[in-house]
Amino acid sequence: MKELKQRSTCPISTSLDVLGDKWTLLIVRDLVFAGKSTYGQFLQSEEKMATNILADRLAVLEAQGIITKAVAADKKSKFTYRLTDKGVDIVPLLVELTLWGAKHCPTIANPRLLEELQAGKDAAVEKYQRLAREQALA
């Protein structure tokens, strides 16, 4: 795994050093909104992430303390991934990106989620953060 090198001390820049590629936030999205937790489930996302990219991004997320990796209860050769508290703190960013994308981009993939976010953004953020924390304890 390549080491992440900060380009500056700007908080936006340092955040992008960790989260700024087009795949990382999609993995976090799938953990939060789709309840995915295994490598195979992430591969089934409609964006069709390549296996080498997925493996790299999972490793980076784990190294950065955003997710944890554990042996699955049902199969010792399978791992499950869960958000840490640091990862749960990304939920408000995902909500804002979802709302921005719905406002400025022509397609809406999950109208139910969008309606929930528009009806009460703060309540939705709290709900998904709570669900992610509960999943981490499971």
Mean pLDDT of 91-109: 86
Show Cβ contacts of residue 9 under 8 Å, excluding neighbours closer than 6 positions: none
Say whether pLDDT at 1 is over 70: no
The pLDDT tens digits of the residues spanning 101-125 come to 888 887 767 788 888 888 999 999 9
The pLDDT tens digits of the residues spanning 15-32 come to 998 898 989 999 999 999
Please report the domains of the chain, with CATH numbers, ordered by start residue. 11-137 (1.10.10.10)
Handedness of CA 67, 69, 72, 78 (dihedral sign): positive
Contact 87, 31 (CB under 8 A): yes
Report the predicted TM-score, pTM, of the whole model to 2 decimal places. Answer: 0.88
Mean pLDDT of 31-46: 94
**What interhelical angle do 24-33 and 121-137 show, nearest 10?**
90
Mean pLDDT of 72-101: 92
CA atoms of 130 and 127, how far apart (whole Å): 5
